[in-house]
Structure 1
Amino acid sequence: MRILLNQVHHRLLDIPVLRTDARIVAVIGPNGSGKTTLLELLAGMEEPEAGEVTLADRLPAKMRVGWVGEFPDRTMLFSRVHDEIASPLRFGHAPCRDIDAKVHEIAALLGIAHLLPKATETLSGGEKVLVAFAAALAPGPEILILDEVDTHLDEAAADRVTRALRSRPETTVVLCTQNMDAAAEADHLLYLEGGRVLLSGTPKEVFAELKATCFYPTLWRMEGC
């Protein structure tokens, strides 16, 4: 999917032009650099003060967008896990039989089928992230936006999320992360600082400019890359 930001100005961002056709895009940078704001613009949750944001030549509001924030418990609507995952399908008026099948399919994919009858308030932080991720993935979004969701996940859960993302080639993914090893697995990498996109390219191209900083994959350092 082509992502294009043209002459975008926002109180926290200034992006003359940004374009990528990659399927999985990672966004990195120091705190306060505008990463979350960029994700919110792509999701249609924020509007630019000037300029235009388009996804596949359409405005974000015209796309099927999935969103998982850093604190998913703040946006959970239902008291039971099954109902939370099913909610976007019900809001979309999918048949009940199809909803139940899809909920169980997504839960099995993420290894959380055992959580379906549980109350959402009893879940751990990592479990809440997986449930929110399942709910965002269930309706088949055209673009899925993840804001530092891996912060709450252990290695096994993060691997399940990665496998789920790779199993949905029809979905473009934009993720913000503080894990440089995870960012290195993306198809395209954006480095933000001071509200500007300073670097944009493949992980190899971008990290080559960041080798002397803390924004460099630990595994690459260990391997001498």
Structure 2
Amino acid sequence: MSSPPEIGTAAAVQVQEVEHVYGTGADAVTALGPISLDVPRGSFLVIVGASGCGKSTLLRLIAGFEQPTSGAVRTAGERPLPGAGAGVVFQQPRLLPWKSVGGNVELALRYAGVPREERARRVPELLERVGLHNVAHRRIWQLSGGQQQRVAIARALAGDDPLLLLDEPFAALDALTRERLQEDLRLVSERTGRTSVFVTHSVEEAVFLGSRVVVLTKRPGRIALDLDIPLPRTGLEPDELRALPEYGALRAVLSHAVRDAAG
């Protein structure tokens, strides 16, 4: 493994000259890179591309779950450590079924070092933030799939980490629930000002959520397109946003780029 290059601390996430290889020798597969990008604080970056292009690999590197084969990844100027500095939401909620809804969120607050008396106050606040009211006492199996994913997002927000990482969190949901959660996540992101990195296959989802979208090529994943999404979001209802001519134009550009990048 080569020595990581020197990088600064201005961005929330910095990825510089990163490559990631699975396996060794004849079995080695280069999944990602070389790739470099900076994610400014408070932005919402969406990573989109075909299956197997390295989107989830990149997210795991940013989360600290894996280390790059070469190059450097930094969050807030530091090497990322699993469970530190970032809330992570997966495709499946991964909630603890033996705990109540509130118990799942309370546990995340406890791990974040929040005092017991403050945890009791913050659990309902976090559930309210993701659109869940008066469900803290309920069991996980009593919730729909969309509600469970809302709990997972609330849990990820519990630690007040400056970075939120989401790996296709809505992929397994029906279209209506998916749209509702997209709307909720966009509002939560605006209100908290957190930096978000979101992985998806969906161009529609990328345009709706992102302030910036990066399209990856087929394996090994490299940046095929890095596009700002300068849409006027404040004061617009979701249907109004999707009806804008510039929304349709950006969606068309991204759709074309994803098809080309998939080869």
TM-score, length-scaled by structure 1: 0.84
Tell me by how many angstroms 1:79 deviates: 2.2
Alignment of 1:130-149 (within 5 A): 130-149=150-169
| Partner residue of 2:77 out of 27, 32, 57 | 57
| Partner residue of 1:81 out of 91, 96, 101 | 101
Secondary structure of the residue aligned to 1:150 is coil
Paired AA for residue 70 in structure 1: Q
Q: What is the aligned partner in structure 2 of residue 203 from structure 1? A: 229
Alignment of 1:174-185 (within 5 A): 174-184=197-207, 185=209
Tell me by how many angstroms 1:84 deviates: 0.4
Any conservation in 2 of the 1:191–1:200 contact (CA below 8 Å)?
yes
Tell me by how many angstroms 1:209 deviates: 4.8
User: What per-residue deviation string (whole Å, max 9, x for no partner) do you get for residues 104-144 of structure 1?
Assistant: 11111222123211111332221111101000012111110
Alignment of 1:87-166 (within 5 A): 87-151=107-171, 152=173, 153-166=177-190
Secondary structure of the residue aligned to 1:154 is helix
Q: Distance in 2 between matches of 1:212 and 1:91?
A: 44
User: What per-residue deviation string (whole Å, max 9, x for no partner) do you get for residues 162-182 of structure 1?
Assistant: 21111111x110001233233
Tell me by how many angstroms 1:19 deviates: 2.3
Any conservation in 2 of the 1:5–1:15 contact (CA below 8 Å)?
no
Any conservation in 1 of the 2:86–2:161 contact (CA below 8 Å)?
yes
Any conservation in 1 of the 2:203–2:251 contact (CA below 8 Å)?
no
Q: Distance in 2 between matches of 1:121 and 1:198?
A: 41
Change (3 A) 1:190 1:206: farther
Q: Distance in 1 between matches of 2:213 and 2:98?
A: 35
Paired AA for residue 129 in structure 2: L
Any conservation in 1 of the 2:40–2:195 contact (CA below 8 Å)?
no
Alignment of 1:34-73 (within 5 A): 34-61=54-81, 63-73=84-94
Tell me by how many angstroms 1:211 deviates: 4.9
Any conservation in 1 of the 2:51–2:201 contact (CA below 8 Å)?
no
The answer for unaligned runs of 5 or more in structure 1 is 216-225
Aligned length: 214
TM-score, length-scaled by structure 2: 0.73
Q: What is the aligned partner in structure 2 of residue 222 from structure 1? A: none
The answer for unaligned runs of 5 or more in structure 2 is 1-10, 22-30, 231-248
Q: Distance in 2 between matches of 1:65 and 1:27?
A: 17
Is 1:212 matched with 2:212? no
Change (3 A) 1:81 1:181: same
Secondary structure of the residue aligned to 2:114 is coil
Secondary structure of the residue aligned to 1:94 is coil
Q: Distance in 2 between matches of 1:94 and 1:53?
A: 28
Q: Distance in 2 between matches of 1:135 and 1:28?
A: 25
Q: Distance in 2 between matches of 1:157 and 1:2?
A: 24
Instruction: Please report the RMSD computed on the Cα atoms of aligned residues, expressed in angstroms.
Output: 2.5
